[in-house]
Amino acid sequence: MFPVLGRGSVARVVLCSFEDIHPGDIAVFKAKIGFICHRVLKKVYSQEGLFLKTKGDISRECDCLVRQEAFIGKVVSFKKVGLNIHIDNFFCRAAGFCFGYFLPFLIRPFLALKSTLIRYDAQPKT
C-alpha cells in the first residue's frame, strides 16, 4: 500500500462485516502469504457469493477476488510522521478510490527512472 502505508507502518484495523466495507477503504484479508492490506475498488456480486475487488495503490492490475471468508476488517487509521491519520470517512474513501486508480500511472514512470539511475550509478566508471 505504498505510499499511503509503508513497510513498518502502524495501522489500526477494525473488525467489521463485509457490508460495512466500501470502495476506497483499505481492506485487510488473509492470503496464502499472510495478511494483506489493499484498497477496495468495488464489491462483486456473483452466483458464488459476494467478493471484493482489491489492488495495491501502485499496482496496475487488480488482485484476485477476495472471498468473504478471507476478509478480516478495514484500516481506519494509521501513524505517519508521528501523526495519527484517520481515514474512515467519505472524503478519504473518495480520495483513496481515485488514488488507487490513478497513482500507478503517475508513480510507475518515476520508479522506473529511479531504478535506471541507480543501475547507471552502480556501473563502474572507466
In this predicted structure, the answer to whether residue 18 has a pLDDT above a threshold of 80 is yes
Task: Identify the pLDDT of residue 108.
Answer: 67
Those residues whose C-beta lies under 8 Å from the C-beta of residue 24, and which sit 6 or more positions away, are 39, 40, 92, 93, 94, 95, 96, 97, 100
Query: Where residue 76 falls among pLDDT bands split at 50, 70, 90?
Result: very high
Q: Which of 31, 44, 54, 36 is nearest to 101 (CA)?
A: 54
73 vs 117, which has greater pLDDT? 73
Q: Give me the pLDDT at residue 56, please.
A: 87
Q: Which three three-digit cell numbers place residue 37?
A: 492490506
Q: What is the pLDDT of residue 25?
A: 93
pLDDT at position 114:
72
- How sure is the predictor about 57, in pLDDT bands with cuts at 50, 70 and 90? confident
Q: Is the pLDDT of residue 79 over 90?
A: no
What does the pLDDT look like over 93-113, one tens digit per residue?
Answer: 888 888 777 776 776 677 777
Look at 12 and 2; give whichever has higher pLDDT. Answer: 12
- CA–CA gap between residue 11 and residue 79 (Å, rounded): 7
Mean pLDDT of 72-76: 94
Q: Which of helix, strand or coil describes residue 27?
A: strand
